[in-house]
């Protein structure tokens, strides 16, 4: 049990920068959208698959926190990340609508906003020792 807790601590605390933390990299890179590089249904699906895996990682972090496997500071760290993750649903909803309507002008704008927020989520996670690397 001590070994498990130690592994979690290594993986999630700020001081951790060893191989366990490296292993937590969640590779999801989306690139920028433009008129020349439109947001197709397939691309939307690719982004949503990446975001799904990102949130699987975030929920694992949250679960470790709720179960008391990592230091109590995790609660505040998660609240900080939530400031950004809470912005994702409305953007995602709009992006889905624009892609279905093939409104590329708005889809590209929302897509780039969304990927910026995801990059912020990654950065805030990294500040808390959770490396949610956004790279394909």
Partner 1 sequence: MNAMAILALIAKGITIAEVLIAAGQTAAPALKVIGRVIRGAQAGAVTDEELEAEEAALDKLIADFNAPI
- Binding-site ranges for partner 1 (CB under 8 A): 1, 4-5, 7-8, 11, 20, 23-28, 41-42, 44-46, 48-53, 55-60, 62-66, 69, 75, 78-79, 82, 85-86, 88-89, 92, 96, 100, 136
What's the rounded Cα separation, in Å, for the pair 133 and 50? 11
CB of 69 or CB of 119, closer to partner 1 = 69
What's the rounded Cα separation, in Å, for the pair 92 and 115? 10
Cite the beta strand spans of 30-120 per DSSP E.
none
- Contacting residues for 57 by C-beta, under 8 A, at least 6 apart: 24, 26, 130, 132
- The Cβ of residue 117 has, within 10 Å, a number of other Cβ atoms equal to 16
Tokens 């969304």 map to which residue?
114
User: Please, are residues 107 and 43 in contact by the beta-carbon 8 Å criterion?
Assistant: no
């Amino acid at each position: 049990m001590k070994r498990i807790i130690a592994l979690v601590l290594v993986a999630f605390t700020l001081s951790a920068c060893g191989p366990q933390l490296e292993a937590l990299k969640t590779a999801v890179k989306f690139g920028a959208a433009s008129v020349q590089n439109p947001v197709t249904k397939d691309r939307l699906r690719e982004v949503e698959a990446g975001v799904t895996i990102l949130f699987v990682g975030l929920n694992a972090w949250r679960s470790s926190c709720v179960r008391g496997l990592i230091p109590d500071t995790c609660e505040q760290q998660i609240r900080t990340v939530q400031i950004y993750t809470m912005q994702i649903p409305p953007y995602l909803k709009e992006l889905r609508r624009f892609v279905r309507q093939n409104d590329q002008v708005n889809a590209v704008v929302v897509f780039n906003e969304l990927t910026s927020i995801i990059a912020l989520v990654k950065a805030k996670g990294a500040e808390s020792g959770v490396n949610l690397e956004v790279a394909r």
